[in-house]
Amino acid sequence: MASHTDTPSATATDVMIRFEGVIKKFGDNVVLRELDFEVKPGEFVTLIGPSGSGKTTILRLLMTLEKVNGGKIYVGDECLTHTDRGGKMVPADEKHLRKVRRRIGMVFQQFNLFPNMKVLQNITEAPVRTLGLSKEEAEKRARELLEMVGLSDKVDAHPSQLSGGQQQRVAIARALAMQPDVLLLDEVTSALDPELVAGVLAVLKEIASRTDITILCVTHEMQFARDVSDRVMMFDHGQVIEEADPEKLFTDPDHERTREFLHAVIDRA
């Protein structure tokens, strides 16, 4: 698979994702409280923390499935949430959101494949329609990606003929087919039977090592987070309470809340 080092936009800045004072509320419930964090190009950052701490909301804001109540989000050198109008930053319109969002791919807990389309078409549909790739070019890329995720023999299968783990690997290939600078992973193994998890995690490890896509991952798979992340961020009540490389965070966390969370999660596993 082609690396992104030949894409100028991916290297034009030393920060790929930046949250500046981001506030997100649902009614009176403040989910993110003036959140600041950055992810560098090519970095694999995992968000951990209890349910309801705001991790998935971060991914939904980046996918523009939710809007911020305050602060700004940048992707590379472009502001995602706001646009300049006459020297004043105003909330972005749908056209601007679409343009910046094109740099981002997301893999959800549920695979969201089109059931009526074969695997190959599931992967080629968006690159042809949105990126303007020729059918031949899109199919060539799709076949390369299917080989990378270990499913080159499933080109003509329908999603219903695949296991959950295979469907999730197709969903990963589909996200990569859009040639994103940023890949968001939201609990991508949580809907799978335990014996299918390893295959999906192996594919994600491969992507992390073979491409320089920036990856932001929400997961409860602590061993995976430890194996593959460059940095792990511990969330609680809408704030990053601790961040470190995985070795430090998992063996010698500074924060009592992190210790409690890891105890609960790892002991339960």
pLDDT digits (tens, 9 = 90+) for 183-198: 999 998 887 888 888 8
3-state secondary structure of 187: coil
Token pair recorded at residue 68: 């911020």
Given a cut of 80, whether residue 216 has pLDDT beyond it is: yes
pLDDT score of 5:
39
Higher pLDDT, 5 or 134: 134
Instruction: Note whether 142 and 124 are within 8 A (CB).
Output: yes
pLDDT score of 183:
95
Instruction: Note whether 225 and 217 are within 8 A (CB).
Output: yes
pLDDT score of 268:
63
pLDDT score of 211:
86
Q: Which domains does the chain show, CATH number per domain?
A: 4-103+180-268 (3.40.50.300), 111-179 (no CATH)
Shortest CA distance to 78 belongs to which of 49, 60, 98?
98
